[in-house]
Amino acid sequence: MRMQAISLVNKYYDYFNKRDLTAFLELLDENIVHDINQSETEVGVNAFSDFIDRMNKSYEETVKELIVMATEDGTRAAAEFFIDGIYKATDRGLPLAVNQSYLLRCGAFFEIKSNKIIRVTNYYNMQNWLKQIKE
């Protein structure tokens, strides 16, 4: 079960990097719980899809140096990685975007059931990101 969870999370980031939204969303449970970094919790695959659409309009991001760990029973997984990104269009409530590049260390925590992701919690240092885009 541990290896299935690791494979699932690796696919999640592979599809993210390929910008294959259809395959990406198929990995999620219909009632996915998405804990957004330093923000709200959204529920449901439609809300998650809307979030990704918003992100893709403002950011061009690639996951690099991915490390995935999982519990033996495969119900929990964690990932550590870097986001190599470009802030290409101003996001609501954030500074002006002028194609600033950034590199962020990130973490994510997953809950898995029936080989679907039922919860994902993302973390990165927002202050570090703000500093990078202002330089």
Q: Residues 13-48: pLDDT tens digits?
A: 999 999 999 999 999 999 999 999 888 899 999 999
Report d(CA 23, CA 46) in Å as an integer.
14
Report d(CA 38, CA 25) in Å as an integer.
22
| 102 class by beta-carbon count within 10 Å (0-12 exposed, 13-18 middle, 19+ buried) | buried
Tens of pLDDT, residues 67-103: 999 999 999 999 999 999 999 999 989 999 999 999 9
Residue range of the domain that includes 56: 2-134
Domain count, the chain: 1
Could you tell me the CATH number of the domain that includes residue 58?
3.10.450.50
pTM: 0.93
